[in-house]
Chains A and B, each alone.
Chain A
Amino acid sequence: MNELEEKFGQIYFAVLGAVGLAFGAAELIASAGEGFTWGILDSSGAADPTFLPWRAIILLSAGFFYLSSVKDFAEIHQLAKAVLGSIMIWIVAGMAIWSRIASSIPGEETWFNSLEGFLASYAPPYCPEMFLLPFSLVIVYYILKEKEAER
């Protein structure tokens, strides 16, 4: 990992960590009340109200891991913290995506959903973890870089 890559990683994961923390705090507040839906962002917990506070805690933790990894980012232990933060997001987002896939196949009163119904079940709003998922994948680049360096 060169200096530029390290600098970029520091700024990138600092921002991602801050966003993760903000989302986590919002979800935590939302879980105390009835939740909220803002545009395409959904923190209502309508589908899984009991899981909403856990989601918030996981997001907060991911945010903390990202932020704590920023200092001396190229160091392997620090990078591991960022990897851990990403894995936490992948698990929650993966569950959200899997829940969509599973619910998109059966119809309301039939065995299989219509094409329209199937596609519509992937429509917004989405939970914050799903928004963070693509951004968290950047860590893969740093993992590969680390692997290359090892060789």
Chain B
Amino acid sequence: MKNEKSKVQSGKLPLKAVAIAALVLLALSTAVVSVDAHMPGARAPPEFELKPIVINDGGTEVEITIDDVANYHASQVNKEPQICVCLVCAFRATKLGISEIWGEEIPSRDDIRIISRLPTLGSRDCFRYVTGTGPEIETRTKGEYKIVLSDGTEVTNMTNKNQKKLSKGNSLDNFRFEICRKSTGECFEVVLKEGVFPDGFFELRKKVKFDPKNATSEEGALFKSEWEDTRDKFLTLPDWKLFEGIEEPEEEELDVVGGAIFFSILVIGLGLLLGLSLRGKAR
């Protein structure tokens, strides 16, 4: 009997070991992911309506949606597709820059030059996808994309590792993007407004993402919540609330009085017409 019991126990032991190992692996994987631009366990984004970026790629009109960019970003960082803060910010900045410079025109991909101050994986993949300069992008033409840091240094090493390393000291000052029309030399600088990121966001990010051992679970939860709120702002707020130099569109006041006068004239006129025709019939 003893032997049988010990056999059963020894049979349970590997199960326990597997369970413990799985838990350890899960915890480790979570720790590894947290260093990435992706936010594990982030709540689903709210309902949003972001129109695609439309460009001309060697005679073919191409519509680039935020999902296209997110999928490309996922393929470059080997993660599940997720719309992260930097990615959606870069997408909005590109859309704004294009509309400011090209207006209603559709830009040619090879006429677009983007100079970004932001070294992050999400923005890198968005700008690469739009300009067609990244790997594994089917494109006939290519625009230009480069990262120039605030101190004027051009980043030539675009690897994930280097981008992560450079992103450690990111601040609001990095959220500047120059969208240029190469053929005319026109440029528009998209600058993020203060207040889009909450106070202390970048310090908290640095601590939680790059020094997780010293970050408390409360700080981790706060960062996650602030990250989600900021992403939602980029997905839902209008340009003038996000970027500098964009004027709030004036709300058209409804001309109720003018409309009421015309409507009254119309009703009286129709009434008279009806009265006259009935009178004519009665005769």
In the complex, chain A residues whose CB is within 8 Å of the CB of B102: none
Residues of B within 8 A of A119 (CB): 254, 256, 259-260, 263
B240 contact set on A, CB distance < 8 A: none
| Of A3-11, A54-62, A71-79, A121-129, the one touching chain B | A121-129
User: Is B42's beta carbon under 8 Å from chain A?
Assistant: no
Contact B262 A120 (CB under 8 A): no
Question: For residue A40, which residue of chain B has the nearest CB?
Answer: B258
A120 to B254, CA, bound (A): 6
**Residue in B258, B266, B269 whose beta carbon sits within 8 Å of that of A123 in the complex:** B258
Separation of A118 and B259 alpha carbons in the complex (Å): 8
Contact between B255 and A120 (Cβ–Cβ < 8 Å)? yes
Task: Flag A123-137 by CB within 8 Å of B: 1 or 0 each.
Answer: 110100000001000
Chain B 239-267 interface residues, beta-carbon cutoff 8 Å to A: 254-256, 258-260, 262-263, 266
Q: Which residues of A contact B259 (CB under 8 A)?
A: 118-123
Which of A116, A117, A122, A124 is close to B266, meaning CB atoms less than 8 Å apart?
A122
Within 105-151 of A, Cβ neighbours of B (below 8 Å) are at 116-124, 126, 134
Contact for B254 among A123, A124, A126, A134, CB less than 8 A? A123
* Given contact pairs A123-B254, A124-B258, a sample of 19 additional A-B residue pairs in the complex whose CB atoms are under 8 Å apart: A97-B266, A116-B254, A117-B254, A118-B259, A119-B256, A119-B260, A119-B263, A120-B255, A122-B258, A122-B259, A122-B260, A122-B263, A122-B266, A123-B256, A123-B259, A123-B262, A124-B255, A126-B262, A134-B269
Q: Which B positions have Cβ atoms within 8 angstroms of A?
A: 254-256, 258-260, 262-263, 266, 269
**Which A residues lie at the B interface, using CB under 8 A?**
97, 116-124, 126, 134
Q: Provide 27 A-B residue pairs closer than 8 Å at the C-beta atoms, listed in order of the A residue.
A: A116-B254, A116-B256, A117-B254, A119-B254, A119-B256, A119-B259, A119-B260, A120-B254, A120-B255, A120-B256, A121-B259, A122-B258, A122-B259, A122-B260, A122-B262, A122-B263, A122-B266, A123-B254, A123-B255, A123-B256, A123-B258, A123-B259, A123-B262, A124-B258, A124-B262, A126-B262, A134-B269
